[in-house]
A and B are shown apart, each in its own frame.
Chain A
Amino acid sequence: MVTLNDRISCHTPNQDGTTTQEYFINMGPQHPSTHGVLRLILKMDGETVNDIIPVLGYIHRGIEKKAEAVGYRQQVHLTDRLDYLCALMNNWAVSAAIEKALNLEVNDRIQTVRTIIAELQRIQSHQLWWGVFGMDLGAFTPFLYGFRDREKITEIFEKTMGARLTMNYFQPGGMMYDIHPDFVKDIKEFIKYFRPILKEYEDLFSGNIIVQERLKNVGIIDAQTALAYGATGPVLRASGMPLDLRKMQPYGAYSKVNFTVPVGTVGDSWDRYQVRIQEMYQSLLIIEQLIDNIPDGPHMTMKYAAKIKPPAGRYYTQMETARGIFGTFFVSDGNDRPYRMHFRTPNFNNLWSILKMAPGGRVADLVAILSSIDLVVPDMDR
């Protein structure tokens, strides 16, 4: 059996003739900057990280197994608890998979409202990331600013959906309720409020020399490696690969709107930071194009509470959440419960890119890298 001790190389000669020994240090699962219960075993030489071994499973709840025991309509509720910061996009992905299996076309109103809400959620998720990113780098003000503006979106959601974090709003066949009468007005007010604030974010944080020094040329990953590791979302796009499902396989109302996919050049933490900031501008643009002409129509195309029995077969749907590609794959045997349900979650694949990013850097850089990947641990372990 290979133990951790076998991985240590002793007596690494230094330039001045002295020798050092590598050692292991344990980071997590209870650690403020792993954003949950992620555990990392670091192989260190002095302050330098030489190798990194992620250990998962501290929040493994067996969601995929549980999904086999509940009906199709209840799958939506489980996806909320995967990546809770993109809860609505996860809801949409699983609803779309079921709609695909049932050959159900949803009307334009549903598609448009879903797109607007998904983009709002993307902004909300990036706001939280921005706040926590600042906190991980040692600045507390971004945390307060990010959450101040995040509450505005939370209030819009709460008016329509009645919940703040786990909404269960998108259902197979449509939405749970119709949008609130104030929905359009509130979002317009928010866009007007948030666009100058986004500038303020950049003035406060991006121009700071300490932030730039800690992010630039730290945690570099090139596009081919990122693709090989299965990384998606801003992590991959920061390396220069413009892989965005909203452009490549447009779903919802994305084919009707004009927007650009921000990409980075180097693939360091700074590029990942810039990509997310630019994505917030693009999300505002998308919402602005759609908000004025939401088509009329019913918000639900299926009978409520009816049992769903998709025909036997295998179905896969994928969507671009704030962290990357979220895929839902299920095997149906014709019953009211799936035979097998699998979620391809973005965070699990994004995590492994730290194996290339972190080695060679310092521990403080590792914290910045972890934060720039924007991990949600319950999404990894499921």
Chain B
Amino acid sequence: MGLINDNPENPFKEAIPGSPAFITSIDKVVNWARSNSLWPLTFGTSCCAIEVMMAAGAAHHDLARFGAEVARPSPRQADLLVIAGTIVKRMEPLLKTLYDQMAEPKYVIATGACAISGGPFIYDSYTTIRGAHEVIPVDVYVPGCPPRPEAFFYGLLTLQKMIIEGQTIAKPFERRKPVLSVLPPRIKLEQIRDELVKNLTARSVTDLNQNPKELGL
């Protein structure tokens, strides 16, 4: 996770000597500890920072329940980069620097539509980066504009699960596939869509199935 390591001579990539059983049990302990003590970097560029970094960290929602309340302003002390807000071309090299300054192992959560794909600025904007993954590798995506604090917590729990299952001491920096933390388990996208259409038709004054031309569009 974290760094995509192209350099085969990286000293940290060496396998650790010892019996497999010993390494596996060490893995469990290390990953459990890492997943429950994530230190986020206070990095917010726009609207998502209020919901994800501030409202989530304050008394009502309380990030401390998940062990991630120690927000650090310095990237040297943080191991979780929460990209809260739009990334524009001018910010791109700085985001890369911040990421490079963080110590391994490091994890990235991209919150909000802007950090995932450019969001409302995906069209007709000459500055916005279309998604933070164009700059740095992202582990978990949390959609929303901005996402609710609860959605962020779900993303954080997904990341914790990834850490517990993911990285091993024998193969450090192994990167797993990005996760979209949108749907709670056992809920399908079709169910949500059907429910939305049902609610909209029940409450709306306009007919969703009618010809758009009649509305003057």
Contact = CB atoms under 8 A, between A and B. Distances in A.
A219 to B, nearest CB: 22
Interface residues of A, number: 45
A286 B42 CA distance: 36
A306 B212 CA distance: 10
Nearest to A177: B203
A62 B128 contact: yes
Given A30-B43, A59-B85, A166-B47, A78 B120 contact: yes
A61 B88 contact: yes
B50 A305 contact: no
Contact of B60 (A58, A81, A151): A151
A148 B46 CA distance: 21
Interface string B175-192: 000000000000000000
A57 B209 CA distance: 43
Contact of B148 (A70, A144, A164): A164
A156 to B, nearest CB: 14
B202 interface: no
A303 B94 CA distance: 46
Interface size class of B (residues with CB under 8 A): 35 or more
A298 B94 CA distance: 50
Contacts of A151: 55, 58, 60
A306 B216 contact: yes
B121 A62 contact: yes
A36 B42 CA distance: 10
Contacts of B169: none
Nearest to B125: A62
Nearest to A306: B216
A37 to B, nearest CB: 5
A165 interface: yes
Interface in A55-84: 57-63, 65-66, 69-70, 77-78, 80-81, 84
Nearest to A32: B73
A58 B45 contact: yes
A304 interface: yes
Given A62-B126, A66-B125, A304-B206, A166 B146 contact: yes
Contacts of A145: 59
A78 B47 CA distance: 12
A144 to B, nearest CB: 4
Contacts of B124: 62, 65-66, 69-70
Q: Determine which residue in A37, A69, A85, A144 has the highest number of CB atoms from chain B within 10 A of its CB, and name it.
A: A37
B58 A165 contact: no
Interface string B80-119: 0000011010110010001000000000000000000000
B173 to A, nearest CB: 24
Contacts of A128: 50, 54
16 contacts: A29-B94, A30-B43, A32-B73, A36-B45, A37-B45, A58-B91, A59-B45, A59-B86, A60-B88, A77-B120, A85-B50, A132-B54, A143-B54, A145-B59, A165-B146, A378-B47
Interface of A: 29-32, 36-37, 57-63, 65-66, 69-70, 77-78, 80-81, 84-85, 128, 131-132, 143-148, 150-151, 154, 164-166, 303-307, 377-378
Given A36-B46, A84-B47, A147-B54, 13 more contacts: A30-B98, A32-B73, A37-B45, A37-B91, A57-B90, A59-B86, A145-B59, A151-B55, A151-B60, A164-B148, A303-B216, A304-B215, A307-B217
Interface of B: 42-47, 49-51, 54-55, 58-60, 73, 75, 85-86, 88, 90-91, 94, 98, 120-121, 123-128, 145-146, 148, 205-206, 215-217
